[in-house]
Amino acid sequence: MIKILFVCHGNICRSPMCEFVFKDMVAKAGLSEQFHIESRATHTDEIWNGQGSPVYPPAKAKMTEHGISCDGKRAQLLQYSEYSRFDYFIGMDSENLYAMRRILHGDKDGKVSLLLDYSNHPRDVADPWYTRDFETTYRDVVEGCKGLLDYLKKKMG
């Protein structure tokens, strides 16, 4: 089983979009049994008293527009102990990459990468919390998730 953890700053926009878009792609490819997919935050901005915020309403609306549900998802913080549990840690931007490596005490096994490194145009996924452009973020997420799935299917043989 391939275990993937998508990571962004607050786990309310980009990483949950990736989590549920990728789950949808994997299901449509008939590969759900071969993957375990979750998402996390690098900061506690959206977690209070142990309770994470739900997916940000405009991000949730964008996924709903494309027939993808993220009901029940709440922000969770990335933990050092998860390094041994997951095969891939996929960040959204260079700031996430830095924070992930700090939390995970480095990346001795080469598990940390950026989502759009799996695309033909590597770049950061813009944070829609700041840009308010959820459509561009959604397109970036789909582009990166397709590239990641193609990469993993080749590795699977």
Closest CA to 5 of 99, 100, 93, 69: 100
Residue 32 confidence (pLDDT) above 90? yes
Closest CA to 51 of 36, 69, 73, 70: 73
pLDDT band at residue 156, thresholds of 50, 70 and 90?
confident
- Tell me the average pLDDT of the chain: 97
In the predicted model, is pLDDT for residue 144 greater than 90?
yes
Q: So what's the pLDDT on residue 50?
A: 87
Whether pLDDT at 55 is above 90: yes
Contact assessment for residue 67 and residue 32, using Cβ atoms and an 8 Å cutoff? no
Measured in whole angstroms, the distance separating CA 45 from the mean position of its chain's CA atoms is 17
Segment 64-80 mean pLDDT: 97
Secondary structure letter of residue 74 according to DSSP:
B
Q: What is the mean pLDDT of residues 21-42?
A: 97
Question: What confidence score (pLDDT) does residue 20 get?
Answer: 98
For position 66, what pLDDT does the model report? 96
* Local confidence band at 157 (pLDDT 50, 70, 90 cut-offs): confident
Quote the pTM value.
0.97
Asked if residues 141 and 21 have their Cβ atoms less than 8 Å apart, the reply is yes
Distance CA 65, CA 81 (A): 35
Quote the percentage of the chain above a pLDDT of 70. Answer: 100
Q: Which amino acids are annotated catalytic?
A: 8, 14, 127
pLDDT of 62 strictly over 90:
yes
Beta-sheet strand order (sheet of 2-8): 35-41, 2-8, 88-91, 112-114
pLDDT level of residue 89 (50, 70, 90 thresholds): very high
Say how many Å lie between the first and final Cα of the chain, rounded. 14
